[in-house]
Structure 1
């Protein structure tokens, strides 16, 4: 019995020794050194992953923000495109990366708020495996028709759509995109049955301009050039408030459908587990550099937002709930 008690005492003493050694490792000098590494962030190039091809809205925003962050920190912020699977490939790559602030993503509404419902076999959860840093820009969708269509206002569009119930069609940039789901939401409100024709790439706009497609929702940056050239007629924007990029175009809400909101947005996220000090530093830095991007963003169709990581987190959750209902109502799904 005495031997057993002695053995237990020695085990406890050994455990205490390990604990004391561990505490010694966390000496004030060590803590200060660790904090210094965070204060010095970034000390090497930072990768910003874009889950779509170069030249798109996400890519343009990422490169604009990355350039100014490079200038601010005197350290490279390099954009790397990893397209595929509706944005899932690139964002999963980021979620699986080291949570040290050196791999980030600038992503849009689809991969973050829509895909968790749209994709039935998603291999990661963007809502829990990516940490919001900052909501960079709100990008409304705009309802477009060809000049060949005898429609010049939203009121005339409603009358046209109801008269052509079951025969009217619309294009989108793909199943489950905000372009597609915005049309689903609007047709549900109007009680109109419309045929969806999904596209990949610029052909959707080409067929709309040619009059082979009746209407389409598209992000303002992707069509602002065609609108200014008179190739497409904008009827309404999908945001609650008018876009600063198209101030003369009314909202759906203004036309008797309060609460209608179905635009796109773009924000920065990091792997979950990234030190909060780095999240805060990135958030503050992007808020600062966005001041220099405001005029450019607005001219290209994006409304700058900014604000805190907590704001972005709550915003994403609200978007997820909204789009979950729309996706389930539409019956859209991807494997």
Structure 2
């Protein structure tokens, strides 16, 4: 497959003014993105994800390593490289608020060298696709947060770049608008075969749209694999155990201490433990916990797992070698 983006050993260090302490935000991060892929670039707060995104967009220069877009080194040929990528960054700085919806499309397309006539048909299509046609002559500062976000993504698509970077595309949106935007993006991914990088804390977005997930934690890449592989890996260790009686307080304390991702629900008629086991053999330790007080196990079933659970488990693992151990189980 053709590599569109190549990130090789990039690092970024910040210095605190008062203490002169060095903060390693990004440490030797490497990954590639192929033509037509939809990749999730993920990480908890403070993991180095934002710095990585800024370096990809040319807003921040790496201290070491290289970033190439369509074979162009972003540090050596910045403007040429950035012709191949458009971005919608977190926040409200992607649009001109005193221009109308259509004027924003025309203005930003003009910055890329397109005339109004050249983009007229595509602009009409995007306005219809994003349900913005009725708002095309309204000023952006009068739009809802959801409409502004949809317009920002439409602007990025109108640039006709090979790569689109979407940073937190559903942040701050209500459930209905978030769902609508996911459906629009799924259509775009299917029809246009764009190369898209999505950074998001909204795990349904990642699970529904992304082919691969690159997860950064503590400045390093801890996993780079297909989403379907990660779901299969952790699905085999997700169990729901129905008990014949409630756990004692001591058992419950031990459960949460040994299996921090577990969930325990007890009612007058049933008790259920839902647990993700890091290693297959951990099930014996789980049953020992029930056995020590003679708790009756009525049934045990494997359960489905979503990408949010996968993400938590990976980040909890922390380092690359720890993830390698998990994958080999």
TM-score by length of 1: 0.23
Q: Which structure carries more relative contact order (alpha carbon 8 Å, separation 6+)?
A: 1
Bigger fraction of residues in helix: 1
**1 or 2, which has the higher strand percentage?**
2
Q: If the length of structure 2 is used for normalisation, what is the TM-score?
A: 0.23
Report which of the two structures shows the higher radius of gyration computed on alpha carbons. 1
